[in-house]
Amino acid sequence: MTSKDVSTHYETLNCNENATKEEIRNQFKKLALQTHPDKSDSKTSCEDFHRIDYALKVLATDESRRQYDCQLIDDRSYDRIINQEITINDMILIDDTYSIDCCCGGSYLISIDDFSQLSSVESPQESLIIDCNSCSLSVKLGKT
């Protein structure tokens, strides 16, 4: 969840991920005028200025932008890797929670309540994604 809370340099500069270098510079100028410490004495705008200044530094150079783009793609695909597909028969019921071990030593956990939503007749859902409680892998729990 943590990586999603942090905005990307593109979001910081309020521009598209395939924006041209010129568009990025223009966005920077626009935002810099609003947040430059000389224009305002508030602490937040000073932090904002450093954030957009850093974002520009990364995105203004082809090489560093390419590296950053690769890193973004990495972060995103790493975010939700479906490790394997399982069914409820693969899981062990402990108290009110079904569980299956992850290769990292953590576990995938799903409560009986959540599972009953998947198995209920009214639910059109065909599968649920369960995240590991200690790494970023996920499993897909399908209907049996």
List of residues contacting Zn ion (CB under 5 A): 102, 104, 106, 132, 135, 137
The residue (of 59 and 100) whose beta carbon lies closer to Zn ion is: 100
Least Cβ distance, residue 81 to Zn ion (angstroms): 10
Q: Would you tell me how many other CB atoms lie within 10 Å of the CB of residue 47? A: 11
How buried is residue 97: exposed, middle or buried, by Cβ count under 10 Å (0-12/13-18/19+)? middle
Is the Cβ–Cβ distance between 96 and 111 less than 8 Å?
yes
- Give CA angle at 55 (14, 32), nearest 5°: 65
- Distance in Å, CB of 113 to Zn ion, minimum: 23
| Residue closer to Zn ion (CB basis): 70 or 94 | 94
Nearer to Zn ion, 84 or 87 (CB): 84
DSSP 8-state secondary structure symbol assigned to residue 96: T
Rank residues 102 and 130 by Cβ distance to Zn ion and give the closer one: 102
In whole angstroms, how close is the CB of 116 to Zn ion at the nearest point?
25
Kindly report the number of other CB atoms within 10 A of residue 110's CB atom. Answer: 19
Q: Least separation, in Å, of the C-beta of 1 and Zn ion? A: 15
